[in-house]
Structure 1
Amino acid sequence: MAARLKYMPEPKVASFPAIRGALKFYKIASIITGVMLLLLVAEMVLKYTPLHLELFLGGSGGFLWFAEAVEGPDGLESTGDGINLSLLILIAHGWFYVVYLFACFRVWSLMRWPFLRFLLLALGGVVPLLSFFMEAIVVRDVQAYLAERESAEASASDSATPATEGAR
């Protein structure tokens, strides 16, 4: 676990349940954002390489099919009919990234980490596969920190109470 800077305040023990809830939300958001980012990368490769394909649901091509995107005056234009899944993937990733940023902010603020750590967390929704690695690292670090602090608090409270069990 990374050492905390001397001027960084420690999270309060009373906030540990909120940290655990924020961590659970972060785990879910990072996995969804990572999957959506991988889908987005696949969609961009299909569309902006010489293939120029977009994925559609329904319409004249069947249940799931690819339609060609042709060069138009405003860039690539879709030729398919039905529901443009490529566009939906783009929109969904954008909205899930906003949710992911909120989850990152929540964990970051409760853990009282430096701002640079928040920026690194935020990159997890932009760099493919990074959210999966960041999720594993953050969960490991936060759980280790909480366990260490709780054991230190327990041992401190045990040493503060007099040993009355031996006197009985």
Structure 2
Amino acid sequence: MAWVTGSMLLLLCVEMLTKYVFHTGGYDAEGEPLGVFGIWVAISHGWIYVLYLVTVFDLWSTLRWRLGRLVSMAAAGVVPVMSFVLERRVRADAQARIDATAPQG
């Protein structure tokens, strides 16, 4: 989910840059900037972020991490590129915890 959320966030950032900075979408009758990709990018990212939060909460509660870890993982879905970086670290920490609790045999 971190990869999907991060990719959609980057696409949303591209949409906002092209819409508000470069004005490539044009303007509607009221003078408001028109979207380049359409509103579907923002709506898709919003719903994917909700699914990401559910996934993050499930992982956090299962592994019983501290509250700060939950906050940082939730923030990773709204800070561009942070989800890619944090996903790698969280995955390594989770795998180490799973390996430590696995029966040796």
TM norm structure 1: 0.57
Q: Which has the higher helix share?
A: 2
**Aligned residue-pair number:** 105
For CA contacts below 8 A with separation 6 or more, give which structure has more relative contact order: 2
Assess if the C-alpha contact under 8 Å between 1:53 and 1:69 holds in 2: no
Deviation readout 1:2-41 (Å, 9 max, x if unpaired): xxxxxxxxxxxxxxxxxxxxxxxxxxx1110000000000
Alignment partner of 2:100: what SS? helix
| Cα distance in 2 between the residues matched to 1:43 and 1:86 | 8
Alignment partner of 1:45: what SS? helix
Could you tell me which residue of structure 1 aligns to residue 12 of structure 2?
40
Pair member with larger Rg: 1
| Cα distance in 2 between the residues matched to 1:124 and 1:69 | 32
Structure 1: any 5+ residue segments left out of the alignment? 1-28, 55-67, 156-168
**CA distance 1:77–1:45, change in 2 (3 Å):** closer
- CA root-mean-square deviation: 2.0
**CA distance 1:41–1:71, change in 2 (3 Å):** farther
**CA distance 1:123–1:71, change in 2 (3 Å):** farther
Q: How does 1:2-151 map to 2 (within 5 A)?
A: 29-49=1-21, 51-54=22-25, 68-70=26-28, 72=30, 76-78=32-34, 85-150=37-102
Q: Between the two proteins, what is the percent identity of the paired residues?
A: 37
The one-letter amino acid paired with 2:74 is: A
Assess if the C-alpha contact under 8 Å between 1:34 and 1:132 holds in 2: yes
| Cα distance in 1 between the residues matched to 2:48 and 2:64 | 24
Q: Which has the higher strand share?
A: 1
Alignment partner of 1:85: what SS? coil
Structure 2: any 5+ residue segments left out of the alignment? none
TM norm structure 2: 0.89
The one-letter amino acid paired with 2:94 is: V
| Cα distance in 1 between the residues matched to 2:24 and 2:74 | 30
The one-letter amino acid paired with 2:7 is: V
| Cα distance in 2 between the residues matched to 1:46 and 1:85 | 9
